[in-house]
Amino acid sequence: MRRVGIDVGGTFTDIVMVDDQSGQVWTTKVPTTPSEPTVGALNGLEAIFDLSGSKPEEIDFIGHGTTIATNMVIEGKGAKTALITTEGFRDVMELRRGWRHDRADLYDLFFETPAELVPRYLRKEVTERVSYDGTVSQTLDLEELDLRAAELAEDGVEAVAVCFLNSPVNGDNEQTALNRLRERSNDMFVTGSIEVNPEIMEYERTCTTVVNAILGPRCGQYASDFTRKVREKGVRADVYFMQSNGGLTPPEAVNQRPVTLLASGPAGGATAVARLCGRLGVKGAIAGDMGGTSFDVSLIRNARPEMRNSTVLNTFTVRCPNIDIISIGAGGGSIAWVDEAGGVRIGPESAAADPGPACYGKGGTRPTVTDCNLVLGFVDPDSFIGGGFKLDVAAAAAAIKNNLADPLGIDVEAAALMVRQVANALMAQAMRLVTVERGFDPRDFVYIPYGGAGPVHAVDLARELEVPSVVLPPLPGVFSAFGMLVADLLHDMQASIVRNVDEIDPGALQQQIDALENEARARLREGGVPDHLIEMERRVDCCYLGQGDTMQVELANGTLAQADIDAIGETFKNEHRRQWNFDVTGRPVRVMNLRIRAVGKVGQFASPPVRKRNGQALAPIGMARIRMADGWVEMPRYRREDLCNGDSIEGPLVIEELSSRIVIGAKDKVEIADDASLVITVGRD
């Protein structure tokens, strides 16, 4: 059985193939093709076939992560979308929240709100009304709905989002509208809030449904096209797509709920780190993915990624379960520049795949983080991607000189070192956001870096945050693609509750749970997952009465008793106290939503075979010259493939592999774990 993981990034598309019988692993990288993402993915598939000598019919599984959904929303390249809503509520998305700002920087006096997701002339109202308690006070006017649908058809609308007031309490009117539109609008993508985000919070629910509609036609077409083209190559394996929640889903589900793909790519890496923590017995880890365009950081506790229920994308709030990932524009391809005040800035603009950093030799003339690391010796020009992609040091130096060194009045090395230090500071701050600002001490975690550029900065970041050790996993440069192979199938279900804890009847809540679990189990069975591989996880969203944001609390399995309901309040209070360091006395705990996660345990973790040393001595393959903060340092170079289980080496030294390089300082020590991970003990100054 051979399985393939594909991760389409901003600069490179990463491919991993694993043979489950022999344990052999093959990896490769090919340039991403932003204009047509399927081309890069299929090129990578062909490359891995050639590298491994595999035939298409030998492939049993393909997992695919992609940034296509995120890019569509940010770039405004989704489908032409309309909104049909309750009379009087067409402007919900413009009103937003009076008590919450979605701006990236509250103090930016020049901030410009992005264009609305749906222009006002495409926001249509219909006569219908459901009261707060679920009573239908006005049934849907079908003739009026037909008239609005005809108007939208004349405007060339490709997708329609339907979001009625109070539909999470009673969705009859909204379901009637969805059925009618689908019967009479065969060419339009139609989606409703009761299918995408059936919970209160009108603005967030409307935004989420609209984003799902915007993505529907294009993402559905991408999933269909990729699957079809894979079939044309002779591959008969099941094809799955990575969701923001860290689980896989079939193409059919992508067609219905593409909003779940918004953090598809970064989720693969966080999922792989969680599985690695489970194998190594690591209780807590900070996961850092530094790729070509961004640095994505997340927190892993008890072998599970920290989750959240919403995310802000281009200032718009989207509510769906996703791994709590903080992303900043500090990838290897992020462009360094000098602002008006003479300060060095990095990103958010990226050189991307075309033209890429100046050192790629594709016509890029602006310096990137990778160019600076190359000039400083942290990236090797000859061994990059196994030596098959030579880097141009002179071009990198010229870009730094013209755009940074000369304007600042310093030499090229000093400018490059300054960029590296700024990048480290930005990434360290992102790591604090998922630890310190969440109520966690980074010193209680290990740091697990990955991505092509992740290991290059890893030890510096750990030292900055006083993280005691760095664990460099196997295949760090393609670890997100590897995450597609270890992920499980996931279906997230939810229902609105909106009750104080002391008002919840265990029997009534059990009925809601049973209904959701039965539906989720049926979906997994349709995907071929046997019952013994299906697990259910229960959670509820809680807050103190009057609070706007919620926290997730785990709910007991089995038949609920009153004690299980009472435990919700105490668990929430403890978690609230841990994160925010205070209680709200005299205020009841309110349960807002029930969440059911159905897990199909199909992921399998495989590591490259680890050699044992049989008398032969470990020897470096040469020397590397690295520009450290206090000057140039000569240190021995080792190939990672030459390291054996049980090896222990003290720095300074450099370890190189297919797509990355890690520098170990003079006070650091590296050991080789049983699964081929490098465990680096970080020394203190």
Confidence at residue 388, expressed as pLDDT on a 0 to 100 scale: 65
Backbone φ/ψ region at 342: left (φ over 0), alpha (ψ -120 to 50), beta: left
- As a whole number of angstroms, the distance between CA 220 and CA 307 comes to 25
Q: Kindly state the percentage of the chain with pLDDT values over 90.
A: 63
Confidence at residue 387, expressed as pLDDT on a 0 to 100 scale: 60
Q: What is the pLDDT of residues 459-511, one digit of tens each?
A: 999 999 999 999 999 889 889 999 999 999 999 999 999 999 999 999 999 99
Contacts of 112 (CB under 8 A, 6+ apart): none
Structure tokens at 613: 């040393």
Q: What is the pLDDT of residues 48-77, one digit of tens each?
A: 999 999 999 999 999 999 888 887 887 788
- Closest by alpha carbon to 65, among 298, 272, 310? 272
In the chain, CATH 3.30.1490 sits at 489-600
Segment 84-94 mean pLDDT: 92
Neighbours of 232 (CB within 10 A): 10
Segment 207-216 mean pLDDT: 95
Segment 553-564 mean pLDDT: 92
Segment 562-583 mean pLDDT: 92
Structure tokens at 78: 């989704």
- As a whole number of angstroms, the distance between CA 331 and CA 218 comes to 27
Instruction: Supply the pTM of this predicted model.
Output: 0.89
Long-range CB contact pairs, 543-547, < 8 A, 24+: 543/572, 543/589, 543/590, 543/592, 544/576, 544/584, 544/587, 544/588, 544/589, 544/590, 545/500, 545/587, 545/588, 545/589, 545/590, 546/587, 547/584, 547/590
Please give the mean pLDDT across all residues of the chain. Answer: 90
Domain 78-213 has CATH 3.40.50: yes
143, pLDDT greater than 80: yes
In the chain, CATH 3.40.50 sits at 78-213
Residue ranges with strand state E in 545-619: 551-554, 589-600
- As a whole number of angstroms, the distance between CA 382 and CA 391 comes to 7
Cβ distance 654 to 637 under 8 Å? yes
Cβ distance 134 to 169 under 8 Å? yes
- As a whole number of angstroms, the distance between CA 566 and CA 588 comes to 12
651, pLDDT greater than 90: no
Q: Which amino acid is at 39?
A: V
Q: What is the pLDDT of residues 309-348, one digit of tens each?
A: 888 877 888 998 999 999 888 888 899 999 988 899 998 8
Contacts of 519 (CB under 8 A, 6+ apart): 493
* Fold classified for 489-600: Dna Ligase; domain 1 (3.30.1490)
Structure tokens at 436: 């310190």
Decide: helix, strand or coil at residue 602. coil
- Closest by alpha carbon to 49, among 67, 34, 30, 33? 30
- As a whole number of angstroms, the distance between CA 271 and CA 359 comes to 32
Cβ distance 254 to 242 under 8 Å? no
- As a whole number of angstroms, the distance between CA 379 and CA 390 comes to 11
